[in-house]
Amino acid sequence: MIVVADTSPLNYLLLIDEIDLLPAIFGQVLLPHAVFQELQHPKTSPRVRQWVAQPPAWLEVRTVASAPNPALMGLDVGEREAIQLALELGVGTVLIDEADGRRRAESLHLEVRGTLGILERGAHLGKIDLRRALSKLEQTNFRMSPSVRAALLKRNP
């Protein structure tokens, strides 16, 4: 399976040492050039910048070739390019955390997975301890309500 990723899921999975879930769950991950640049931004964690400087074989950076989709205007450039690239290549799933980007992707008939969905899938597959991963995620600036955390843990005891 191939997916297209926005910045946020990659960033957080790297910060909590769970980046290996991506190839385990999806196989190949495509990264639009704008997302690649965001991951290299000087304000990005040095750990993330180091990782993206030598990407693994399962990650491929791609340039969006088609004209910008008017339905995506107003989104962050990374989200816009992730959705655009998925549509352009016929990839059915995008990895996005931000609510507006998720809604727009779903309105264009794309399946959306975010950081929490990836962690939950990893737990279902027996690849991670969800409670530990969520605790590590809470040490970052990721926003998660207590009710969402509780629901995740209830579904994955």
Q: How far apart are CA 128 and CA 109, in angstroms?
A: 29
Q: How confident is the model at residue 6 (pLDDT cuts 50, 70, 90)?
A: very high
Say what the pTM is.
Answer: 0.93
What pLDDT, on the 0 to 100 scale, is given for residue 136?
A: 96
- The strand order across the sheet containing 59-62 reads 59-62, 28-32, 2-5, 93-95, 111-113
Pairing between β-strand 2-5 and β-strand 28-32 as defined by DSSP bridges: parallel
Q: How confident is the model at residue 68 (pLDDT cuts 50, 70, 90)?
A: confident
Q: Kindly report, residue by residue over 115-140, the tens digit of the pLDDT.
A: 999 999 999 999 999 999 999 999 99
Q: Kindly report, residue by residue over 72-106, the tens digit of the pLDDT.
A: 888 999 999 999 999 999 999 999 999 999 999 99
Domain 2-155 has CATH 3.40.50.1010: yes
